[in-house]
Amino acid sequence: MSSTPPRIAVVEVGPRDGLQNEPTAIATADKVRFVDALSRAGHRHIEVSAFVSPKWVPQMADAGAVFEAIARVPGVCYTALVPNLAGLTRALAARVDGVAVFAAASERFSIANINQSIDESLARYAEVVAEARAQDLPVRGYVSCAFGCPFEGAVAPAAVIRVTRALLEMGVGQVAISDTIGVGHPGQVRTLLAQLAADVPLARLALHFHDTRGTALANVLAGLDAGIATFDASAGGLGGCPYAPGAAGNLATEDLLYMLDGLGLETGVSRSGVMVASLALQPLLGHPLRSPSVQADLAASRR
Amino acid sequence: MSSTPPRIAVVEVGPRDGLQNEPTAIATADKVRFVDALSRAGHRHIEVSAFVSPKWVPQMADAGAVFEAIARVPGVCYTALVPNLAGLTRALAARVDGVAVFAAASERFSIANINQSIDESLARYAEVVAEARAQDLPVRGYVSCAFGCPFEGAVAPAAVIRVTRALLEMGVGQVAISDTIGVGHPGQVRTLLAQLAADVPLARLALHFHDTRGTALANVLAGLDAGIATFDASAGGLGGCPYAPGAAGNLATEDLLYMLDGLGLETGVSRSGVMVASLALQPLLGHPLRSPSVQADLAASRR
């Protein structure tokens, strides 16, 4: 128990994971304003976009234009998801500060999502990581479906550990253990992290939760207790659950900060600053922001 | 660490705390069906209604009729909120299995909510509790605003402890430490419970959370870790936040059970049984049930 609150890193995934899963397309200029507001809120790591095929993910077709137009704040790491070497080439041209690759712990999800088996995807990512590292670019990895799969149901911790180790061994700096469909609960978080800790340094792991069933902050609390110091979140709760349309998706950055601030854990990110960013998008989305803490603040301000 | 999962008690407050804070009135027959479905789901403690002035709380005006019509399952404790001796008399006539009194940890909330100072309310409750005990009726107490007040903001743990002790000393069997406006976070839960534990037996406490800001299950987790074994919840998440209209209110029983089931903690309550009860009310409410796990299940069933 130190008297100085430990510092927790928040990775802002709203512009990528959030907007990619919103049904309404957002104009490039609005995305740029969004990213710039997130920078001003104090974020130090923003996943800005994805250099993926616009045929498959039209929401991210303007990745290059967004990177071109954002006002880069020194010290902020602006990253992009890349699926392959072609994407990495585009990302390098856009002067990203880092890239991310997206693997799955579930075979059927991997096939359904990226049309490759887990091993095929890892082989491709090894090339991407080698090339990124050759260009001095840090690489982040996601392990999706780490707490459950929409097709396979339960996912064995051993499958999560295998993919996590493979990513770290190929040179990925940090792996985000991701609850893609928001089924995880704190018992799973404890069990999985205990098993992961036997094989990989916890300092190399982040946790990425979706609040589909209201458990995201409880899962974060279990992660904090286990020693995890990096958490992903999406401003406003942007992004539905792609496998349960209409249900809530990403843990909202404002909700995460509400709890971390309350726990006295420093993040360097201003919750009200993030709200400024997400509320500017709310009228463009076609639905209210999903963050309960944002809606509670809005409701309280109306009474 | 026992090999047998410990048993957690869930107090179902949907018919009272939930429906009392819904904008739409529910017919008596629908309330009866709701309570009966909750009994069938395995609940062992259901707060059915409140014997309060129908002038102030019209939603609860049919308390006697509901108690008259429900199919009482042996072993289930059907209770009602009572504000005073007159309410207790009506409750006794309705053959309740127990009553509850509602005190506040915040002076201004007490005045605003029940038009009495905290001490005035405690003096009145002492009469209610003495009479209830004389009739062999167990009494539960709520301490509202234990984590924050819509008027005073922060609430000192000393104020919560004082009211909790006063209730226990007058003969209340269990006190539900309640986050009426859903501002609590796990750091507060830990601090408050540590301070309460110095003065009162934790086995006499329950926790009552609202999910207004997405923190309810994280707070439950902190409570479980501190040794609390009784939690309140409202089927479907019934009941908005009365001090932030439009915002989420009570922690949904289905969300609580999702996490407790996941943690391997036995409650004796069937989550799907509770969903049967709450989904029957959904078309009558004028809005979707607020439970994220219920909405996720519904969305998944549509795809």
Q: Are B270 and B42 in contact (CB under 8 A)?
A: yes
User: What is residue A300's predicted lDDT score, i.e. its pLDDT?
Assistant: 86
Burial A174-184 (b: 16+ CB within 10 A, else e): bbbbbbbbbbb
Q: Is residue A4 one of the residues assigned to a domain? A: no
- Which residues in B lie closer than 8 A to residue A244 (C-beta atoms)? 296, 299-300, 303
Residue window 218-257, chain B: list those with CB within 8 Å of chain A: 218, 220-222, 241, 243-248, 252, 255
User: What is residue B1's predicted lDDT score, i.e. its pLDDT?
Assistant: 39
Q: Is residue B4 one of the residues assigned to a domain? A: no
Q: Is residue B33 one of the residues assigned to a domain? A: yes
Residue A124 CA to residue A143 CA, distance in Å, equals 15
Is the pLDDT at A42 greater than 50, yes or no?
Answer: yes
- CATH number of residue A13's parent domain: 3.20.20.70
Q: Are B260 and A215 in contact (CB under 8 A)?
A: no
Q: Is residue A2 one of the residues assigned to a domain? A: no
Q: Could you tell me how many residues make up chain B? A: 303
Cβ within 8 Å of residue A26, ≥6 positions away = A19, A34, A59, A281, A284, A285
Give the predicted TM-score (pTM) of the model. 0.95
Number of domains in chain A: 1
Cβ within 8 Å of residue A298, ≥6 positions away = B246
Max distance between CA atoms of chain A, in angstroms, equals 56
User: What is residue B248's predicted lDDT score, i.e. its pLDDT?
Assistant: 80
Tokens of residue B145, six digits = 């605003």
As a whole number, mean pLDDT of residues A127-143 equals: 98
User: What is residue A165's predicted lDDT score, i.e. its pLDDT?
Assistant: 98
- Do B187 and A262 make contact, defined as CB atoms within 8 angstroms? yes
Residue A260 CA to residue B83 CA, distance in Å, equals 38
Report the gap between the CA of A130 and the closest CA in chain B (Å).
39
User: What is residue A1's predicted lDDT score, i.e. its pLDDT?
Assistant: 39
Summarised one tens digit per residue, pLDDT across range B199-246 is 999 999 999 999 999 999 999 999 999 999 999 999 999 998 777 777
A289 touches chain B (CB under 8 A): no
User: What is residue B243's predicted lDDT score, i.e. its pLDDT?
Assistant: 73
| Full domain range(s) for residue A295 | 9-302
Q: Are A157 and A192 in contact (CB under 8 A)?
A: yes
High-pLDDT (> 90) share of chain A, %: 92
Is the pLDDT at A244 greater than 80, yes or no?
Answer: no
For the ranges A6-20, A152-166, A261-275, B242-256, which has the lowest average pLDDT?
B242-256
Max distance between CA atoms of chain B, in angstroms, equals 56
User: What is residue B5's predicted lDDT score, i.e. its pLDDT?
Assistant: 55
- Which residues in A lie closer than 8 A to residue B252 (C-beta atoms)? 214
Q: Which of B185, B218, B296 lies nearest to residue A241, judging by beta carbons?
A: B296
B1 touches chain A (CB under 8 A): no
Query: B299 by DSSP, 3-state: which?
Result: helix
- Which residues in A lie closer than 8 A to residue B291 (C-beta atoms)? 214
DSSP letters for A255-272: HHHHHHHHTT-B-S--HH
Which chain A residue is nearest to residue B259, measuring alpha carbons?
A185
A125 touches chain B (CB under 8 A): no
For the ranges A54-63, A176-185, B204-213, B244-253, which has the lowest average pLDDT?
B244-253
User: What is residue A246's predicted lDDT score, i.e. its pLDDT?
Assistant: 72
- Do B247 and A295 make contact, defined as CB atoms within 8 angstroms? yes
User: What is residue B240's predicted lDDT score, i.e. its pLDDT?
Assistant: 81
Q: Compute φ and ψ for B73, nearest 5 degrees.
A: -90, 130
User: What is residue A128's predicted lDDT score, i.e. its pLDDT?
Assistant: 98
pLDDT tier for residue A67 given thresholds of 50, 70 and 90 = very high
Residue A17 CA to residue A50 CA, distance in Å, equals 9
Which chain A residue is nearest to residue B214, measuring alpha carbons?
A292
Residue B206 CA to residue B223 CA, distance in Å, equals 9
Q: Is residue B141 one of the residues assigned to a domain? A: yes
Q: Is residue B1 one of the residues assigned to a domain? A: no
A296 touches chain B (CB under 8 A): yes
CA B207 from centre of chain:
9
User: What is residue A3's predicted lDDT score, i.e. its pLDDT?
Assistant: 45
To the query of whether residue B149 is one of the catalytic residues in this protein, the response is no
Q: Is residue B89 one of the residues assigned to a domain? A: yes
Is the pLDDT at A229 greater than 80, yes or no?
Answer: yes
Mutate to test the interface with B, among A185, A231, A291 (most CBs of B within 10 A): A185
Residue A281 CA to residue A301 CA, distance in Å, equals 19
- Which residues in B lie closer than 8 A to residue A262 (C-beta atoms)? 185-188, 215
Residue ranges of chain B with per-residue pLDDT less than 50: 1-3
Q: Is residue B70 one of the residues assigned to a domain? A: yes
Query: A302 by DSSP, 3-state: which?
Result: helix
pLDDT tier for residue A5 given thresholds of 50, 70 and 90 = low
